[in-house]
Amino acid sequence: MKFDPGHTYRMPVAFGPLPGPRQTLPGSPSRGGEASITSYVLRFPTTAEALTELLPPGFAPHGEPVVTVEYTELTDVPWLAGRGYDTFAVKLPVRFEGREDRVTGSFVAVVWENMADPIITGREELGYAKLFADLTSRPEGRDAHRCAASWDGHTFAELEFERITEVRPEPAASASQGGVLNFAYVPGVDAGSRPDRAGAVLTPAVDGVAVDRQATAVGRVRFVRSSWEQLPTFYNVVNALERLPVLGPGDCVVRRLRRNIENRGQRRLV
């Protein structure tokens, strides 16, 4: 085989370029980049010191020290031929200061997803901090909702809303408010070698996103302190989140919208 510089490759490379969220091939017609999204968001105040401990080099807390926990249901995803998946993300308000770039936005500390394909493409192509989990989202009566994340039967995170009250929708964040920041890291293959890739990456915000429905709520989030036996590959991630100080009640919002999720504007920061 020969590598075509005009295409993106993922393993297994022996079969040529693979289709995905940012690449269509013969037999995989493009349906556009918009998906239907329902998000359950809770924000709670913490300390700047606690946020600093979770940030990689070049990042620092920006503005009020607030943790955003967001459960998202995605449906009608074009690159999955109309299928969908869920995500459970933890984001922190940051600024990045590099040799050339100065950027503010939301740093994705971790995002769990319940399908392998978006995890693989998001980690390899975009540098998102993605892990697998079983995710569930269901109503709990007329005005309550519960979202949960588990691994092999062990529930390690819960997000619960009650008194969900519909309000007039507000515009989604614009590109002028920054974007989504990650720290891409790919370890070196040789033992003891430097990483093949390590550095900050930016996903610019998408303009022109219309919110169809919006609601306020009262909510709580709970991370469950876990042992190695319960979560052998990421117990330390959950335990670090469980230790975050919660300094007050959280602001909650539920939104339904459609927006482009291709993330074609991704770029490295230096």
Express each pLDDT in 102-129 by its tens digit: 999 999 999 999 999 999 999 999 999 9
C-beta of residue 115 within 8 angstroms of C-beta of residue 85: yes
Work out the average pLDDT over 134-147.
96
CA dihedral sign, ordered 195, 196, 199, 204? negative
According to the model, what pLDDT value does residue 174 have?
Answer: 55
Domain of residue 171, residue span: 30-268
| Residue at 90 is within a domain | yes
CB burial readout 2-23, b (16+ within 10 A) else e: eeeeeeeeeeeeeeeebbbbeb
Summarised one tens digit per residue, pLDDT across range 146-183 is 999 999 999 999 999 999 999 999 877 655 567 999 99
- How does the average pLDDT of the chain come out, rounded? 94
Cα–Cα distance between 131 and 263 in angstroms, integer?
Answer: 19
| Residue at 19 is within a domain | no
| Residue at 14 is within a domain | no
Give me the percent of the chain exceeding a pLDDT of 90: 84
Check whether 83 has a pLDDT greater than 90: yes
| Residue at 193 is within a domain | yes
| Residue at 183 is within a domain | yes
CATH number of the domain where residue 89 is located? 2.40.400.10
The residue ranking higher by pLDDT, 194 or 175, is 194
H/E stretch holding 259 reads strand 251-260
Check whether 86 has a pLDDT greater than 90: yes
| Residue at 7 is within a domain | no
pTM score over 0.85: yes
Residue 124, classed as helix, strand or coil, is helix
| Residue at 228 is within a domain | yes
| Residue at 210 is within a domain | yes
Domain count, the chain: 1
